[in-house]
């Protein structure tokens, strides 16, 4: 099954558009949980916390998005934790959107694709169903990621960070912005390789913190799934989230990381507070659509 079709089928069957971001901010992991581990148990601490999060939220989330930088910063211990988390997710048949923002020239992009998707030569080192990529090297840096229809990518188009406009909002000679130019490329890269829902495997990262861009970009990319960061802790608006969806309430996956991983009531309610935060986010997104 095409990646896009699998994700949209899950959205329907779970009545959810929620993606839970797995960003193990060391300083935000509750002290009460850390107390059960010694200094040398970094891998077990990180994977233990995140696997508990997954256990209480997977009924409400359609996918999980590990941010690889939060694992890489701990070296081998962090990567060991990531592999354990990926194994847990795959055991529960939860799709993985690896947030690694990879890309380079064609041959190097092919190595990145092999790292996360595998190929006939090697199995994936970090098995993922989709990957965030930087599209600014053009099509030869994108094509290596599109060889397996069951895998997808999300290309950076309009990111949620405050300084994104320094480049992405700049006008091109054609009169459109850099972000809009990238959006047009995504339509080309999807081409006629569309699934039963009308979406291709080349998705777009479009931040919820810029509602004025969301509607325009949705119009330019009618065949791209949107991965929408910035909802929740970053203050993404309901207006932006609503505009990311098509008329059937599909076409977008809304990511929430810190708001679910580290709820204020954790010290009193433990992982039940995490579950409640996921249910609240899922319900809020559905309410916006209604």
Domain with residue 33: its CATH number is 3.20.20.70
Average pLDDT, the chain: 94
pLDDT, tens only, 113-136: 999 999 998 999 999 999 999 999
pLDDT at 234 over 60: no
Q: How many CB atoms lie within 10 A of CB 214?
A: 26
Beta-carbon contacts of 6 under 8 Å, excluding residues fewer than 6 positions away, are 95, 129, 150
**Residues of the domain holding 80:** 3-289
Q: pTM for this structure? A: 0.96
Q: What is the pLDDT of residue 32?
A: 93
Section 280-286 average pLDDT: 94
Total number of domains constituting the chain: 1
pLDDT band at 179 (very low <50, low <70, confident <90, very high): very high
- Residues above pLDDT 90, as percent of the chain: 83
pLDDT, tens only, 250-264: 999 999 999 999 999
Section 82-110 average pLDDT: 96
> Which residue is catalytic, options 14, 65, 101, 143?
101
Q: What is the pLDDT of residue 210?
A: 83
Section 234-238 average pLDDT: 61
Catalytic, 101? Answer yes
User: How many whole angstroms separate alpha carbon 79 and alpha carbon 70?
Assistant: 10
According to DSSP, residue 160 is labeled: S
Residue 207 dihedral angles phi and psi, to the nearest 5°: -75, 145
User: How many whole angstroms separate alpha carbon 159 and alpha carbon 55?
Assistant: 29
User: How many whole angstroms separate alpha carbon 140 and alpha carbon 108?
Assistant: 10
- Residues above pLDDT 70, as percent of the chain: 98
Q: What is the pLDDT of residue 175?
A: 84
pLDDT, tens only, 30-50: 999 999 898 789 999 999 999
Which class for 262: exposed (0-12), middle (13-18), buried (19 or more C-beta within 10 A)? Answer: buried
Which of 141-145, 183-187, 205-209 has the lowest average pLDDT? 205-209
């Amino acid at each position: 099954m095409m990646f896009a079709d699998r994700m949209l089928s899950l959205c329907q069957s779970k009545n959810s558009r929620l993606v839970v971001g797995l960003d193990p901010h060391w300083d935000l992991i509750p002290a009460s949980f850390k107390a059960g581990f010694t200094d040398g148990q970094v891998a077990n601490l990180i994977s233990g916390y995140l696997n508990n999060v997954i256990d209480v939220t997977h009924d409400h989330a359609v996918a999980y998005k590990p941010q690889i930088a939060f694992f890489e910063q701990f070296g081998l211990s962090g990567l060991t934790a990531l592999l354990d988390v990926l194994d847990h997710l795959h055991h529960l048949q939860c799709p993985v959107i690896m947030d690694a923002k990879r890309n380079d020239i064609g041959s190097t992009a092919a190595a990145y694709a092999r790292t996360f998707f595998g190929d006939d030569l090697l199995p994936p080192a970090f098995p993922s169903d989709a990957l965030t990529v930087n599209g600014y090297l053009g099509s030869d840096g994108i094509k290596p990621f599109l060889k397996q229809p069951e895998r997808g990518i999300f290309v950076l188009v309009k990111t949620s960070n405050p300084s994104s406009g320094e480049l992405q909002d700049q006008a091109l000679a054609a009169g459109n912005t850099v972000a809009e130019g990238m959006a047009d490329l995504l339509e080309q890269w999807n081409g006629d390789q569309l699934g039963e829902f009308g979406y291709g495997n080349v998705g777009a990262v479009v931040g919820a913190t810029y509602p004025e861009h969301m509607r325009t970009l949705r119009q330019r990319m009618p065949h791209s799934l949107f991965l929408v960061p910035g909802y929740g802790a970053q203050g993404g608006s309901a207006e932006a989230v609503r505009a990311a969806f098509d008329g059937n309430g599909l076409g977008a996956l809304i990511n929430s990381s810190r708001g679910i991983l580290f709820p204020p009531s954790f010290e009193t309610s433990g992982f039940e507070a995490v579950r409640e935060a996921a249910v609240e986010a899922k319900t809020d997104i559905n309410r916006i659509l209604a």
